[in-house]
């Protein structure tokens, strides 16, 4: 079958469903480990973004994942809440237990189908895969009439076998057939043809979906090729997070469909694009994964111009070198400004206008951190407030250790030293250390005080806003006993921000050790 490249010959008058898997596949990025409170905060923003589906997690993976899915299912209104499940009946039952309180729920069932996965991972025959597919999808359909099925590693699965598995899934009750390019093997014209052929060959009433990984840098392109050939659901992650090189980026797919309506006539999403940049910033700060400056749509440089010719053009008319209106993706600067004289009411009112709901201890913690920073910074902007809220929500409910005091010294020809005072329950821990720079000394002092040895594998510092009093946003990655985590800290002082980030990562290591996966799971789509 020839691939449909769109244009005048394409017949399209349907909505494309945006299925966000940031909280499931996105969290599988190395070093990301979100707590239920952090997942809930992201889910609330995804609801404001108006995604159709939120894949909240993999309930059987751990108690933490189950709790997060359950809490999101209970509290999030608007999007349908989905969760992932293997075909094992016990997995499906566990999945539904987490989802059952949702306003609308979907069970997403998957099993591997490629020869490589069958031989080296599952140790199963094609006949066994068929039986498992029938069993798992049928069980899911007993709970809900919204069931998605994915043949994992579809793009490396023999075509006839994949069609057979998909046919069984539809007959068992699957209403969405997702075609995962699990290892990023697809090329747009080839992947588009695959979607078109599935649409032609597999009979029944279902929606075709894409789930594309970015190993060859083609996740967005493959997703769009799927849409032009009949896919009406696209699985995406904010900022392109996900296993290895990541998934198709939500913001890229959505804006490509919006800007190139000439090639996608009639195709619409229900995304509130003005929330894209805020969503990107929140996910970046809670996951500890910075957004590259030249990232499409949401990067810092997405609407910046260095060349004199470009500058001249955009000063005359921004459309000369910009195909996206910055306002349409929320990239314009905010007029919200608070200072050290602002009170609790002004702070609470400001975050409410930003779409953030805080109460009780969470509000108190964020306000206290705001006042602390306001004493050091003349003006606190909306971006600063987002950073404060993201940090405090990510730590306040689950801290084993808290930084009480930090003293550092150094200079030319002087060995840098650091002294930290850390709280653990009712105990006060004091430690000092030398280091290769004040930041290194602070990290070593924290390790001594907490008794947690970890290797620093990544360090990045950026400013939240501009100016000499800008808040520094530091992200560190620590590795310990085979586990990698990210930590984040903010302050007008980069050494303090670094110490806070290091301690945040230490606390995450402790939390992960307390909620190891309950079962050994194969890789997910």
* Extents of the domains making up the chain: 7-287, 337-395, 402-514
Nearest CA to 475 out of 506, 495, 498, 445 is that of 498
Q: Give residue-wise pLDDT tens across range 296-342.
A: 999 877 776 444 544 455 456 566 667 788 889 888 654 556 777 78
pLDDT averaged over the chain?
88
Range ranked top by mean pLDDT from 59-68, 221-230, 354-363, 391-400: 221-230
Q: Per mean pLDDT, which range of 167-171, 194-198, 307-311, 318-322 is the poorest?
A: 307-311
If one compares 339 and 163, the residue with the highest pLDDT of the two is 163
Nearest CA to 61 out of 525, 524, 376 is that of 524
Under CATH, which architecture does the 7-287 domain have?
Alpha-Beta Barrel (3.20)
d(CA 350, CA 364) in angstroms, rounded, equals 14
If one compares 347 and 499, the residue with the highest pLDDT of the two is 499
Confidence of residue 356 (pLDDT cuts 50, 70, 90): confident
Question: What pLDDT sits at residue 394?
Answer: 58
Mean pLDDT over residues 216-223, rounded? 98
Question: What pLDDT sits at residue 310?
Answer: 47
Question: What pLDDT sits at residue 393?
Answer: 67
Q: Give residue-wise pLDDT tens across range 504-516.
A: 899 888 887 776 5
Burial class (CB in 10 A: 0-12, 13-18, 19+), 260: middle
Q: Which pTM was predicted?
A: 0.81
Q: Does domain 402-514 have CATH number 3.30.160.270?
A: yes
d(CA 304, CA 154) in angstroms, rounded, equals 39
Q: Per mean pLDDT, which range of 36-45, 175-184, 248-257, 475-484 is the poorest?
A: 475-484
Q: Find out whether 488 and 435 touch, Cβ atoms under 8 Å.
A: no
If one compares 63 and 232, the residue with the highest pLDDT of the two is 232
d(CA 396, CA 245) in angstroms, rounded, equals 31
Confidence of residue 58 (pLDDT cuts 50, 70, 90): very high
Confidence of residue 382 (pLDDT cuts 50, 70, 90): confident
Whether the domain at 7-287 and the domain at 402-514 fall into the same CATH topology: no
Convert 86-123 to b/e letters by CB count within 10 Å (16 or more is b): bbbeebbbbbbbbbeebeebbbbbbbbbbeebbeeebe
If one compares 95 and 13, the residue with the highest pLDDT of the two is 95
Structure tokens at 163: 């069609």
Mean pLDDT over residues 381-401, rounded? 72
- Taking CA atoms, 191 is separated from 117, 148, 229, 294, 473, in Å, by 20, 20, 9, 27, 40
Q: Per mean pLDDT, which range of 52-61, 120-129, 345-354 is the poorest?
A: 345-354
% the chain with pLDDT above 90: 61
């Amino acid at each position: 079958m020839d691939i449909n490249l769109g244009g005048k010959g394409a017949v399209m008058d349907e909505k494309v469903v945006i299925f966000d898997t940031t909280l499931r596949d996105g969290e599988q990025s190395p070093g990301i480990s979100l707590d239920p409170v952090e997942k809930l905060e992201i889910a609330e923003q995804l609801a404001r973004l108006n995604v159709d589906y939120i894949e909240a997690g993999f309930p059987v993976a751990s108690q933490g994942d189950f709790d997060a899915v359950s809490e999101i299912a209970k509290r999030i209104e608007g999007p349908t809440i989905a969760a992932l499940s293997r075909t094992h009946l016990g997995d499906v039952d566990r999945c539904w237990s987490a989802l059952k309180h949702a306003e609308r729920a979907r069970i997403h069932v998957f099993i591997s189908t490629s020869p490589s996965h069958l031989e080296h991972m599952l140790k199963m025959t094609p006949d066994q895969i068929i039986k498992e597919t029938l069993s798992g999808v049928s069980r899911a359909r007993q709970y809900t009439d919204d069931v998605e099925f994915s043949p994992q590693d579809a793009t490396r699965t023999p075509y006839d076998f994949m069609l057979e598995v998909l046919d069984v899934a539809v007959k068992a009750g699957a209403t969405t057939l997702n075609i995962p390019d699990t290892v990023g093997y697809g090329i747009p014209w080839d992947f588009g043809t695959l979607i078109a052929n599935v649409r032609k060959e597999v009979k029944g009433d279902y929606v075709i979906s894409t789930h594309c990984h970015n190993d060859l840098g083609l996740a967005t392109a493959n997703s769009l090729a799927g849409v032009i050939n009949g896919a009406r659901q696209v699985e995406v992650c904010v900022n392109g997070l996900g296993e290895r090189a990541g998934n198709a980026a939500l913001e890229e797919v959505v804006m490509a469909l919006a800007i190139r309506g000439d090639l996608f006539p009639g195709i619409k999403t229900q995304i509130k694009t003005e929330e894209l940049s805020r969503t990107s910033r929140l996910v970046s700060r809670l996951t500890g994964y910075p957004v590259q400056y030249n990232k499409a749509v949401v990067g810092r440089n997405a609407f910046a111009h260095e060349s004199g010719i470009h500058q001249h053009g955009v000063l005359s008319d921004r459309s000369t070198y910009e195909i996206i209106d910055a306002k349409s993706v929320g990239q314009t600067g905010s007029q919200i400004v608070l200072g050290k004289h602002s009170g609790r009411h002004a702070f609470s009112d400001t975050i409410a206008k930003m779409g953030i709901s805080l109460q009780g201890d969470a509000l108190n913690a964020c306000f206290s951190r705001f006042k602390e920073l306001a004493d050091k910074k003349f003006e606190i902007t909306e971006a600063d407030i987002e950073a404060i809220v993201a940090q405090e929500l990510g730590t306040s409910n689950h801290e084993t250790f808290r930084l009480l005091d930090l003293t550092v010294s150094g200079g030319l020809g002087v060995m840098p030293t650091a002294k930290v005072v850390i709280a653990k329950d009712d105990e006060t821990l004091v430690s000092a250390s030398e280091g290769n720079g004040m930041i290194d000394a602070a990290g070593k002092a924290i390790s001594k005080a907490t008794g947690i040895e970890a290797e620093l594998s990544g360090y990045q510092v950026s400013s939240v806003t501009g100016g000499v009093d800008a808040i520094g946003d530091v992200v560190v990655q620590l590795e310990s006993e085979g586990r990698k985590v990210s930590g984040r800290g903010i302050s007008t002082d980069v050494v303090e921000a670094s110490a806070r980030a290091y301690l945040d990562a230490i606390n995450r290591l402790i939390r992960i050790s307390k909620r190891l996966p309950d079962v050994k799971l194969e890789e997910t789509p």
